[in-house]
A and B are shown apart, each in its own frame.
Chain A
């Protein structure tokens, strides 16, 4: 028995710290930024809120070098954007200021204005979510939240769900392919497709439920319910400046919403 002569060295993956202009920030700061952008975009009505959130998110996206991928992400909301634009431009309740008449439909100025504001709002929100997703590793966020008092149950639920989603999606795709190979119709009319749901849901759900019992036992076997806290080895950098920024963003965004509600019509 020789006593350990060297101090234990932490493995690389624990010590690795994200770097970069926006990426290097503490995960909590990035989370607060995304939340503040959503609050301002949705809470401050008119042009001001969506425009401010949009500009802030785009600037941060450019700084972090993920602008191109953010744009790709926001393509996913294209159906929603088209719908907002079309439904509101042509069917805005109580609007009579005609812009152009196309067949039986009349486009109105107030409808188009509301549609563009809604469009900007959704794009700003979608980009803020994409910015957060692209610049923050979920592991880092969970470590940070756990260090700040989130219980291990919370971090298990979120962390495990994130791993389970792609796995379950993959499984749903496999099951759909397998059932299609056996003649399930995924192209026919709505009723046929509805019938196709049954052989899809069954295997996915029962496969997933089968895991639950094993996981519960595995958790119990690893002292999941033991009292006391886990020791967090991975420490992410934080600073009093970031702390101040977080509070400013949080309080500022809520105050902006309150101001815009208290003074309706003062902002463009």
Chain B
């Protein structure tokens, strides 16, 4: 019976994605490379999540698990299973408070997702993101009626990507001084500049057939980029920790990917708007002549990198306050704790 459930889920996923790709391939102005890339990421991720995560049926007898299922199940230790509900609750509670109580124009609803991805791996991260949005949408009394459900795909991608950052050890503290501090900051600023320039000159926006953005958008991109670079530099130099520079790059990348994934969802599902403060950006871009999809993409490329960079810094601050003894017990613990700390614990402590 279990197998059947997963087959249904996998079939629904594949059909839905196939239809989405088919529909988008019919439109000439869409870049097929982006969609091929997304498909190449989504397919295997969906398969791995569905085949491993929720059920994780224990191997019987001496049967050795395969390499892939070993990789998958090594990310779901009991500690990670205990962390995931807490992270989901964190996402929903902090996102709700930020958007509704403090009325800020950022989302801040992926702290838990990125935290799980960084300490446990891509699959728990993706699953935490997906479940957060589905629970937020479908659980009684929390959010039904809000528009978060279809963005579960975005949240899953964010969690998966942050798992890669965790694997690369991006969030490990890297105390340094002098040149070893300046070089990472320079690299980080260069990468962010390249990303910003890519947005600034992306052909779709300047193509006269689609229509450009109003002039202030370009000014805003430059201003926000400059402020972000300064903030990152200050953070790194005050804390004397080069990790800040790498985290900024990770946040900007995560945000750009999130924007690329959310734009078609917002455009096809909600006619391009999301009912929050960011809608006025969409309206301005439409006034400038952008179509439904491009105005959503433009809004996402403006808000998401900022939101995800802030979120990544919050996660970095959280991790720096959690004791290394606890961190080392998670699957990516050894990648998060400095080896010369003297407090790194061998093994996963189970």
Contacts and interface: CB of A to CB of B under 8 A. Distances in A.
Given A76-B145, A149-B55, A87 B89 contact: no
B182 interface: no
B1 A77 contact: no
Nearest to A264: B26
Interface stretch (B32-40, B101-109, B161-169, B189-197): B101-109
A77 B150 CA distance: 14
A190 B105 contact: yes
A17 interface: no
Contact of A168 (B60, B78, B89, B287): B89
B15 interface: yes
B53 A93 contact: no
A29 to B, nearest CB: 14
A219 B270 contact: no
B269 A42 contact: yes
Interface stretch (B216-224, B230-238, B242-250, B271-279): B271-279
Interface stretch (B170-178, B255-263, B289-297, B339-347): B289-297
A73 B127 CA distance: 26
Contacts of A88: 271-273
A211 to B, nearest CB: 6
B138 A118 contact: no
Dominant secondary structure of chain B at its interface with chain A: helix
A57 interface: no
B271 A208 contact: no
A199 to B, nearest CB: 12
A176 B97 contact: yes
Nearest to B294: A93
A197 B2 contact: no
Nearest to A126: B145
Given A87-B272, A261-B19, A148 B93 contact: no
B269 A164 contact: no
A132 to B, nearest CB: 6
Q: How large is the interface on B (under 10, 10 to 19, 20 to 34, 35 or more residues)?
A: 35 or more
B144 A169 contact: no
B90 A208 contact: yes
Contacts of A161: 84-85, 88-89, 131-132, 135
A209 B89 CA distance: 11
Contact of B137 (A43, A129, A206, A209): A129
A183 B4 CA distance: 56
A11 B276 CA distance: 47
Given A208-B90, A261-B23, A150 B2 contact: yes
B79 A212 contact: yes
Contacts of A157: 54, 81, 84-85, 88, 127, 131
A236 interface: no
Contact of B97 (A39, A149, A153, A172): A172
B145 A258 contact: no
Nearest to B135: A161
B282 A162 contact: no
Interface string B91-120: 011101110011111001001000000000
Tell me which of A77, A80, A93 has the highest count of chain B C-beta atoms within 10 A of its own C-beta. A93
B139 A87 contact: no
B291 A93 contact: yes
A250 to B, nearest CB: 7
A172 B291 CA distance: 39
A149 B5 contact: yes
A115 interface: yes
A250 B11 CA distance: 11
Contact of A200 (B97, B135, B279): B97
A34 interface: yes
Nearest to B76: A153
B5 A148 contact: yes
Nearest to B6: A149
Interface string A139-173: 00000010011110110111011111111110111
